[in-house]
Structure 1
Amino acid sequence: MSTVPDTRSMFRVHDDLRPHAVVIGSGFGGLAAAIRLGARGYRVTVLEKRDGPGGRAYVYERDGFVFDAGPTIVTAPFVLEELWQLCGRRMEEDIDLRPMDPFYQIRFHDGQVFNYWADIEAVREEVRRFSPGDLEGYDAFMKASQANYKVGFEGLAHVPFNSLADMARVVPDLVRLGAYRSVYGLVSKHIRDPRLRQVLSFHPLLVGGNPFRTTSVYCLISFLERRFGVHFAMGGTGSLVKGLVGLIQGQGNTIRYHSEVERILVEGGRARGVRLKSGEEIAADVVVSNADSASTYHDLVPAGDRRHWTDRRIRRSRYSMGLFVWYFGTRRRYEDVPHHSILLGPRYKELIEDIFERKVLADDFSLYLHRPTKTDPSMAPEGCDTFYALSPVPHLEADVDWETQAEPYRRRIEAFLSETLLPDLENQVAVSHVVTPRYFQDELNSFRGAGFGLEPVLWQSAAFRPRNRSEDVDRLYLVGAGTHPGAGLPGVISSAKVLDEVVPDAQRVKGVA
């Protein structure tokens, strides 16, 4: 969806004496960073290669159908509300958030359904229905989830890790929590039923992680959802993007589209600005990259200016899975289909190993099915539905030719949905659009086409991720899924909050560039 920039603010910045911050990319991390820097007295220019904002949260419109390309789940809405408060506004003036109930409906391959209700007693009843003997274990797991939330989110998400000494200070807490365990390992400590183990361990897939390898700290997501709920923004996630763009422009700052960055300009070890692919050079006092962290270093920072994030280290790091996403609109409505569905395939651990370890495109799959028109019918023409079906797949290290495999894979998904939740789907599709890991690489500049950047394993967390303040280049900062604290809307927004601790106050850098 193309958004027309405010040209009045674009052309008045030249006589603006505030120190200048350039933000590369207009994903949620970049937009949040721009707002925070603007609130701290910086003149901000956001540079976006595409024709509209959002990054992974770009919006597609086809024949009256509106598709959120990326994030669809809003948890921890307070991290967004704070951005409006920084601009002297209230988020509810611009955004209508609706709570989801159930959060998700999880459908097993045999047709059984687990409803992940907003009310915890209703969830406990679901647990009792599946496995009465696991009810006490579920309560214990939720206590463990809360403990991980207090340390992993309340304690660490907004804190910079500028050195290994910063990491050493949190090691005792991580040891106490058993962070060496995987998410699935912590769930299995408390839960015996294999179906409930899947229900309580799938969350890492929402942030690019393998439940069998992702540190158990990510079990915090269960408590995060329980405490703050799961929400949907009316009009789609794109309405949040539009609202954030409005805040930036209200600060007198600028978003430029069709402005792809070719190089971060480094002089004397300090970021001095950027060069666009058009050849234009833009000077800056600070540079913030919301681009994929691996691509930021590999493609934008000259190799001679990197000692930590060398090409070799980037290549040897582990990356999240890829994503295959089919966006489609139907000529009819499927009234019984919930807003969020998780459709689990016949295999769980084996499928995840195919995706993350063996890196092969399996014949079976699991899906996240999003039907926003359950909550907001305006996202499709009258009497129609908007959907997207997301399937985790290997990233581009796999030997998969998506030019030839995309359509057969889409047809398999279509046939499966027709047989289960969406009868006669083959004859009801009005519009269709597919993206594969190649889209993430070619359009979103994501290294190896990974859907969420670096994989969130323990040795790639906190101080071991690319830091919010670059280890290699002074006055270069990183936000987004590939830096601390990680992927997911709360994590990405929190990465911008870390900038308050590591970017110098505007008065300290005034006149440097």
Structure 2
Amino acid sequence: MKETVAIIGAGMGGLSAAITLAAAGFGVTVIEAAQEPGGKLRQVSSGGRLLDAGPTVLTMKWVFDDLLSRCGTSLADEIGLDKCDVIGRHYWQGGQQLDLFADVAESRRAVADFAGAREAAGFQRFAEDSARVYQLLERSFIDASRPNPISLSARIGLHRPNALLALKPFSALWPTLESYFSDRRLIQLFGRYATYCGSSPYLAPATLMLVAHVEQAGVWTVKGGMHALARRMADIARDFGVEFHFDEKVASIDKDGSGKAVRGVTTDRERHIPAQNVIYNGDVAALSHLLGDAPSPRGGQQRSLSALVACGVASPTGVPLSHHTVFFSENYGEEFDAVFGRSLPPDDPTVYVCAQDRPAQRDGSSAVGSGAAERIYCLMNMPANGDSHGYSKSEVDRCLSSMERRLRRNGLRLDLDRQTTAITTPDRFAKLYPGTGGALYGMASHGWMASFSRPAARGPLGGLYLAGGSVHPGPGVPMAALSGKIAAERLMADMALHGRSRRGAITGGMRMRSATADVSPSR
């Protein structure tokens, strides 16, 4: 009989943990409140068409290749991928445009044409330093059990002070960018990387400049959309015997007689699933409720960004879109002061547009044909106040109007039908992801200690482990996948340490997939 692990949540962290454990011979049961896998990798319908309504960017492909190598496969063998040539198109007032490319030299030429040779030289230094920061942190922090400042220093090497200083540990992102660029548009562009973890560029640490290297190392689009990635990973997990229960919510994590260890979970169908180990793949803000404990204080940490996401079908005109396009506001500081300082929607938001029918290549033409209606995803930053504020129709209309106004000022005409557009506001996100208030990235990464403040893989009870974007190593699709792998590896290491055998585990930690498994990339 196999050792059984219960996993709460079929988001990316839960799927990664399930694959890691099942490939090592464990029995795994995943309980998911939604009707399908993916968590934040969700889909909505508008105008009779399906659109991704969550993360739209796939980076750090090595994370998934490493995970799937345990199953004798790779990401490209399982799903169709297209590498982006244009990793991002950016517009400012009046249609000023700058594209960034996967090739650093080409991006430098584009920056030179846009802002001059001095700014291009600053970009080259920035690209080199962001690569250095990433290389220092990839194995010492990102793909490791959560370190503290001392252990991180030891991993990098206390005898390498210059390497430690290269991380700019005590600097905020925005002023650090001012040492590379004098053009405020470029500072605004690269400062936007703070929003990738739901934070303000004025308060987030300079280490987030590593995002530039992550993108330059490769951005991919997934055939069938990002939700297809979650479905495929769930299929792989099933091939290894993982059992899924969808449309069923975990009501409690059950404790043993001592109150110090888990003994399984109970669902809203009053079904008890016994397990000596549980992995919780949800926001840690909701964990105390499942444990029957009083909510724990956040220690002054601020919630990360929420969003208003509008997904619909439209025929955009004006400046050409790429797959990923950003339309910057005129006053970036005011935007973040509104969201984080006053907990209000910004009057002049920066708007991210994902044209889901367009390839991320140079021409950017729509796959459905010029002038035809295409699937459009629009996002503006919002405060994570969804558990204390319900957004009325008039408030939503004002937000949509402010988005449309910014798009027009930057050269794009986009008329989404408000009757058919699928709109998600912070209060809706709060219901989708309990305990968050609509925050999409856990706690904000503000201050130099923020990265060390996220919970580690071990939970507060024996046999309880944590995964997802609110724990180490942080938010984002590849990071959540890493968190699931780290949680599963921590679980297995703890079992080995305590001498508990995995009854039924497969020798060597590798199982053969079912002979009837369909591994077609088109699936």
Whole-angstrom CA distance in 1 between matches of 2:245 and 2:408? 42
Note the alpha carbon deviations across 1:24-70, whole angstroms, 9 max, x for none: 11111111111011112211111110111111101223444121121
Secondary structure at the aligned position of 2:420 is classed as strand
Tell me what 2:363 maps to.
none
Tell me the CA shift for residue 463 of structure 1: 3.9
Tell me what 2:136 maps to.
151
Contact 2:390 2:427 in 1 (8 A): no
* Correspondence list, 1:311-330, <5 A: 311-314=295-298, 316-330=300-314
Whole-angstrom CA distance in 2 between matches of 1:113 and 1:446? 39
**2:383 maps to 1:394:** yes
**2:193 maps to 1:203:** yes
Tell me what 2:27 maps to.
43
Tell me what 2:517 maps to.
none
Tell me the CA shift for residue 462 of structure 1: 4.4
Number of matched residues?
A: 486
Contact 1:160 1:501 in 2 (8 A): no
Contact 1:437 1:451 in 2 (8 A): no
Superposition TM-score, scaled by structure 1 size = 0.87
Whole-angstrom CA distance in 2 between matches of 1:53 and 1:473? 26
* Correspondence list, 1:67-146, <5 A: 67-129=51-113, 130-146=115-131
Tell me what 1:483 maps to.
471
CA RMSD of aligned residues (A): 2.8
Tell me what 1:495 maps to.
483
**2:357 maps to 1:370:** no
Amino acid at match of 1:150: Q
Tell me the CA shift for residue 278 of structure 1: 2.1
Tell me the CA shift for residue 335 of structure 1: 9.5
Change (3 A) 1:126 1:184: same
Tell me the CA shift for residue 414 of structure 1: 3.6
Report which stretch shifted further, 271-280 or 394-403.
394-403
Whole-angstrom CA distance in 1 between matches of 2:472 and 2:109? 36
Tell me what 1:28 maps to.
12
Tell me what 2:276 maps to.
285
Change (3 A) 1:463 1:423: closer
Note the alpha carbon deviations across 1:344-397, whole angstroms, 9 max, x for none: 0111122112212222222111111001101397899x9430011010111107
Unaligned runs of 5+ in 1: 1-16, 304-309
Tell me the CA shift for residue 194 of structure 1: 0.9
Contact 2:355 2:375 in 1 (8 A): yes
Whole-angstrom CA distance in 2 between matches of 1:24 and 1:460? 28
* Correspondence list, 1:64-463, <5 A: 64-129=48-113, 130-161=115-146, 166=151, 169=154, 174-227=164-217, 229-267=218-256, 268=258, 269-296=260-287, 298-303=288-293, 311-314=295-298, 316-330=300-314, 336-375=320-359, 383-396=372-385, 401-404=390-393, 405-417=395-407, 420=410, 422-423=412-413, 425=415, 431-458=420-447, 461-463=450-452
Unaligned runs of 5+ in 2: 361-365, 504-523
Note the alpha carbon deviations across 1:390-431, whole angstroms, 9 max, x for none: 1011110797541241233223324544565553625x6783
Change (3 A) 1:421 1:51: farther
Secondary structure at the aligned position of 1:66 is classed as strand
Tell me what 2:521 maps to.
none
Amino acid at match of 2:304: S
Identity score, percent? 23
Whole-angstrom CA distance in 2 between matches of 1:73 and 1:105? 14
Amino acid at match of 1:387: I
Secondary structure at the aligned position of 2:492 is classed as coil
Amino acid at match of 1:186: T
Change (3 A) 1:335 1:36: farther
Contact 2:194 2:200 in 1 (8 A): yes
Superposition TM-score, scaled by structure 2 size = 0.86
Note the alpha carbon deviations across 1:46-97, whole angstroms, 9 max, x for none: 1110111111101223444121121110111121122322212232233111
Contact 2:132 2:166 in 1 (8 A): no
Tell me the CA shift for residue 315 of structure 1: 6.7
Contact 1:116 1:123 in 2 (8 A): yes
Change (3 A) 1:419 1:200: closer
Tell me the CA shift for residue 21 of structure 1: 0.8
Contact 1:66 1:379 in 2 (8 A): no
Change (3 A) 1:509 1:69: farther
Whole-angstrom CA distance in 2 between matches of 1:343 and 1:280? 49
Tell me the CA shift for residue 176 of structure 1: 4.8
Contact 1:360 1:400 in 2 (8 A): no
Whole-angstrom CA distance in 1 between matches of 2:229 and 2:471? 22
Tell me the CA shift for residue 169 of structure 1: 3.5
Tell me the CA shift for residue 490 of structure 1: 2.0
Tell me the CA shift for residue 260 of structure 1: 0.6
Note the alpha carbon deviations across 1:279-317, whole angstroms, 9 max, x for none: 211111211111112212x321232xxxxxx73423732
